[in-house]
Amino acid sequence: LAKTTQPISMDSYEGQEVNITCSHNNIATNDYITWYQQFPSQGPRFIIQGYKTKVTNEVASLFIPADRKSSTLSLPRVSLSDTAVYYCLVGWGGGYNKLIFGAGTRLAVHP
């Protein structure tokens, strides 16, 4: 069971780069790593997904080392609107019912 561990909370300031790391020691060979963002009273929103090495899109980068036992979500130049909870999700590697959301990281961005 690919359980994930993330920091409970993080603080940052506008314009800084934020890196949130997720540990997933029991990741299966076919598992993907996905990150979601959630604002209060809303459903989660997809940010990025990767399998290995580095993935980049218009809002974030995802770094995955060779052993895939952890991953790091990088948010460049955060703004106040990036204040949210960020979830690391590991799964879909053949055991679909094992899709596990972590407890999430509460990111607070300050002026």
Partner 1 sequence: NAGVTQTPKFQVLKTGQSMTLQCAQDMNHNSMYWYRQDPGMGLRLIYYSASEGTTDKGEVPNGYNVSRLNKREFSLRLESAAPSQTSVYFCASSARLGVEQFFGPGTRLTVL
Name which position in 43, 66, 81, 111 contacts partner 1 (CB under 8 A). Answer: 43
CA 21 from centroid of its chain's CA atoms: 7
Name which position in 9, 16, 69, 103 contacts partner 1 (CB under 8 A). Answer: 103
Q: In sequence order, which residues have a C-beta less than 8 Å from that of residue 109 and are 6 or more positions away? A: 11, 12, 13, 14, 18, 78, 79, 80, 81, 82, 83
Shortest approach of partner 1 to residue 34 CB, angstroms?
8
Give the x/- contact pattern for partner 1 in 48-87, rule: CB under 8 A.
Answer: -x-------------------------------------x
Shortest approach of partner 1 to residue 89 CB, angstroms?
9
Region of 68 on the Ramachandran plot (φ > 0 left; ψ -120 to 50 alpha; else beta):
left
Interface of this chain with partner 1, residues 4 to 33, rule: CB under 8 A:
32
Rg (CA), the chain: 13
Question: Of 76 and 94, which has the nearer Cβ to partner 1?
Answer: 94
| Site of interaction with partner 1 (CB under 8 A) | 32, 34, 36, 41-46, 49, 87, 91-92, 96-104
